Amino acid sequence: MDALEGKLGHSFKDQALLRRALTHASADSTVSNERLEFLGDRVLGLVIAEALHQRYPDEPEGMLTRRLHALVRWESCARVGEEIRLWPELVLTKSGAADEGGRARGAIVGSAVEALIAALYLDGGLEVARTFIERHWLPLLDVIQTEQRDAKTRLQEWSQSGGRGERGAPVYALVSRDGPDHAPHFVIEVRVQGHEAARGEGASKREAEQAAAAALLAREDVQ
């Protein structure tokens, strides 16, 4: 526990709270981390929303929302969990640990990270939770932005692979453009035949197209 507390940046007064945050429902449903996960998700959302609001003072609500969703989704939480090597610390049954390398592991780790955020909040207060979140999540902004910048290429490749090539390339369409000339706001829709359309927003058509492509890829769970 000492090593984990060092990674979290906090020494727990209530060690039982920390143990509960690490306990998956497969090990003990009566003292699992599910309730803490619920609270931690909300604390994470609040801290990230506040940080984004301060960091991007001129961005419209739609852009902030997309950044928020990218940072609080379980994949981002799982990244942080792997960074702090959380998996060996979790309390799991053998069945709960069955898929140590795949999506199941990621979802379990991501949920435990949210539970840890709640534990930090309950044991040390919002500032303790905020320090941990800002240290590990804000650097992900650059990673996520890089991934989203190349979303159009990834969508193009996906739409042409796995027997989908006959459906053609993604088609982008302008839904709306508003705002003053110095601060325009674009909404773009992208369609791939056989799949529901997705929309993205941005301060330029290019940015909105990338956001739309990223949204469709995320919905289709394309890595």
The 10s digit of each residue's pLDDT in 61-71 is: 877 887 888 88
Number of domains in the chain: 2
The reply to whether 137 and 155 lie within a common domain is: no
Q: Which pLDDT does position 153 carry in this prediction? A: 87
The reply to whether 64 and 156 lie within a common domain is: no
The reply to whether 8 and 75 lie within a common domain is: yes
The reply to whether 132 and 159 lie within a common domain is: no
Question: What is the distance between the alpha carbons of residues 15 and 21, in angstroms, rounded to a whole number?
Answer: 10
Nearest to 84 by CA among 26, 10, 175, 151: 10
Could you list the active site residues? Answer: 41, 114
* CATH number, domain containing residue 179: 3.30.160.20
Looking at per-residue pLDDT, the higher value among 141 and 38 belongs to 38
Q: Give residue for tokens 């539970």.
A: 115
The reply to whether 204 and 114 lie within a common domain is: no
* CATH number, domain containing residue 74: 1.10.1520.10
Whether 101 has a pLDDT exceeding 90, the answer reads no
The pairing of beta strand 185-191 with beta strand 171-178? antiparallel
The reply to whether 192 and 128 lie within a common domain is: no
Picking from 123, 146, 169, the residue at the C-terminal end of a domain is 146
The reply to whether 95 and 16 lie within a common domain is: yes
Q: Which pLDDT does position 167 carry in this prediction? A: 62
Would you place residue 96 in the very low, low, confident or very high pLDDT band (cuts 50, 70, 90)?
Answer: very low
Q: Which pLDDT does position 111 carry in this prediction? A: 93
Whether 168 has a pLDDT exceeding 80, the answer reads no
In which domain, by residue range, is 35 found?
A: 2-146
The reply to whether 52 and 36 lie within a common domain is: yes
The reply to whether 14 and 100 lie within a common domain is: yes
Q: Can you give the pTM of this predicted structure?
A: 0.67
216's CB contacts (< 8 A; 6+ apart) are 155, 170, 190, 192, 195, 197, 198
Would you place residue 147 in the very low, low, confident or very high pLDDT band (cuts 50, 70, 90)?
Answer: low
Which whole number is the average pLDDT over 51-76?
84
